Chains A and B, each alone.
Chain A
Amino acid sequence: MFADITHLLELRRVPARTGRRPVSTLAFDWLYVALMLLFNVGVSLDVWSHGQFGPDQSVFSEYHMLFYTAIGMMGLLLFGTHQMNLRAGYSWANALPIGYGITLLGVLLFGFAGVFDLIGHALWGFEAGIEALYSPSHFTLFLSGALIRVGPIIAVITRSKQTEIRSLWGWLPGLICFASFTATVSVFALGYAPLGGRPFAMEAFRPLEDNQGYMLGIAGAFVQTAVVFGLLMWLMREVRLPFGAITLVFSMMAILTVFRAGGFAMPILITAGLLTDSLYQVVKPNALSRVRMMAFGFIAPLILWYTYYGLIILTGAGGGTYFTPYLWIGSTLQTGIVGMALGYLMTLHAPSTPKEAKS
């Protein structure tokens, strides 16, 4: 009792930090990312296991244990940090380091969605085929899975604005989370996404009706362009990335697709990542220059999708392509239009002239 009163009095002596919010260090981000990577490994192995062996024989499957424990530890870390910062004088609402508030929401939502999913399976059965990408409980899982990746991204952006981050190492936790976030957000398009989903341009994925294959393949490229380059240009709008950052993000995305779709996307994404990194250094897209952002938005998807079609044609992967040159050349140019439009949107609310920037 006396200890509690003393403790309360001690708390009152801590100067209040109203209107301030803690910022995590790189060490904290790495701790969180280490747990998140374990979570990623668990989820990826679980997806692989379901593809190979069908339904689990127990809710306590080995991979469930890994990713549920990992997310439990992530929640514990955030809860402990919240308590630590409360004692350091921050207000209850602002005690989590910047970016990690939404992450804690993701952790809690994931727990809720996990139970919701189990109950749903028991009551209404398993989602069959593509239903798994769209059922409400799975959507909640994907949404929360995306939210838990946000913290380190925002933390790195915040630190980069306060103090210059010189090495790629300093960016790494944020970039790993950014790649995971992009991959998670793309999950809804797995049924037709060319990279990591179903490459309908390949002979092996050719449906009975060629036109269906054409439309799915082209629409998939449009959607994937919007998701990948939309998020990437948002990041470029916020910060200046070091050389190698885009290659790293693309490589991480490739690794995340291996469990699900094999290694087909790996050489494409690594090659396109290196080329896009070089393009970034040359064009230097930023929020203050609409022309540069739109130029990057136009050229970058062309690099990705010409690498994609080029690899299929040159190596004959998946039996080569049945897309005619009219289709793959023309539709890829149109992905450039999608990227260019995104580049325009990314500069809409940014100060477009140095004068506005000063004000």
Chain B
Amino acid sequence: MSALIPFLRKWRVIGVCMLIALTAAVVMAQEGDDQSIVDLFTGSFASTRELILFRKTAGPYIVTINGERFVDRAYFEIEATADSEPISADAQVTIHMVPQHNAESRMVSAEIIETPRTYEAVYRDSDGLYVVEMSDIENPGSWMVDISITDAAGTGTTTFTSRIYPRKPDASVWFNIANIAVPITVLLVMLGVYRWRGIRLMSPIEAPVRSASLSASSSI
């Protein structure tokens, strides 16, 4: 037990230092997107834009869809190629969405409130993508999405399912700090109690390195 005491002291210092460092990280991360340490170094990690939501074959086209799927911010960015060549700027890209009620969805189905709808994708010059804004969807739920593309290579259609999510409520700084502090506190408190009560962490009985009483799988 005496060998443990210097370590307990070290661990206490390490634990407190970690708590301070991680708390500082949380507070900095909470200070808004512009100043977030996450954004400073790795902006894309802090984004809710989902890369490659779906990649499907639609007739002669390969369709790649990125975007965001929240009730207050829902859009698809559609990239389509035929024979590795992007479709032209005057192609017709149409999305038809039907609210879906299926067993996979544990959320309130959009079917209850929403109605089917059709969108025409708009070509965006800056990056050569077709964009569909679904700003009129106001309820979370599952949707069956039919995408249809008409261009020089002909017409292609494909179907996929997608969810529209509600925004997660913001967690308070204190809740975030608690999530960091609890494991550190549990470790320090339990070690403290063990030390106070003189409870050993290692058994006085040792095991041989290759124990005959253990099977091969349990001698690791």
Enumerate chain A interface residues (CB-CB to B < 8 A): 17, 19-25, 27-28, 30-31, 34-35, 38-39, 42, 49, 51-63, 65-66, 69-70, 72-73, 76-77, 80-81, 83-85, 87-88, 94, 97-99, 101-102, 118, 121-122, 124-126, 128, 150, 154, 157-159, 161-163, 198, 202, 204-205, 234, 237-238, 262, 318
Contact check, B45 vs A101: say whether CB atoms are below 8 A apart: no
Q: How far is the CA of A79 from the CA of B101 in the complex (A)?
A: 50
- Which residues does chain A contribute within 8 Å of B217, judged by CB atoms? 234
B75 sits at the interface (CB 8 A): no
B196 within 8 A of A: no
- Say yes or no for B115: interface residue by CB 8 A criterion: no
The answer to whether A20 and B209 touch (CB under 8 A), given A59-B45, A62-B176, is yes
When C-beta atoms are compared, the residue in chain A nearest to B18 turns out to be A72
Partner of B179, one of A27, A54, A65, A262: A65
Pair A126/B168 contact, Cβ less than 8 Å: no
* Chain A residue at minimum C-beta to C-beta distance from B105: A51
If over half of A's interface residues share one DSSP class (helix, strand or loop), that class is named, otherwise mixed; here it is helix
**Cβ of A101: which chain B residues have Cβ within 8 Å of it?**
220
- Asked, given contacts A59-B38, A59-B46, whether A23 binds B205 with beta carbons under 8 Å apart, the answer is yes
Sorted from nearest, which 8 A-B pairs have the closest CB atoms? A125-B52, A125-B51, A54-B165, A53-B168, A66-B179, A70-B183, A204-B103, A23-B203
| Residue B152 interfacial (CB < 8 Å) | no
* Contact assessment for B218 and A31 in the assembled complex, using a CB-CB cutoff below 8 Å: no
Query: In the bound complex, what is the Cα–Cα distance between A17 and B3 (angstroms)?
Result: 15
Q: Interface segment, B91-99, B126-134, B184-192?
A: B184-192
A21 touches B187 (CB 8 A): no
C-alpha spacing A80/B215, complex, angstroms: 28
Chain A min CB distance to B22 (Å): 7
Q: Residue-by-residue, is B183-220 near A (CB-CB < 8 Å gives 1, otherwise 0)?
A: 11011001100100001111101111101011101111
Most buried by A among B106, B183, B191, B199: B183
Is B66 part of the binding interface, using a Cβ–Cβ cutoff of 8 Å?
Answer: yes
Q: A262 vs B220: C-alpha distance in the bound complex, in angstroms?
A: 36
Residue among B107, B182, B194, B200 with the most chain A CB within 10 A? B182
Residues of A within 8 A of B218 (CB): 99, 154, 157-158, 238
CA distance in complex: A23, B215 (Å): 16
13 pairs across A/B with beta carbons < 8 Å?
A27-B199, A27-B201, A38-B182, A66-B180, A80-B10, A88-B3, A121-B51, A122-B45, A125-B53, A158-B214, A162-B213, A163-B205, A262-B106
In the complex the two chains form, is A57's CB within 8 Å of B205's CB?
Answer: no
B119 at the interface (CB under 8 A from A): no
Residues of B within 8 A of A99 (CB): 218, 220
Q: Are B51 and A126 in contact (CB under 8 A)?
A: yes
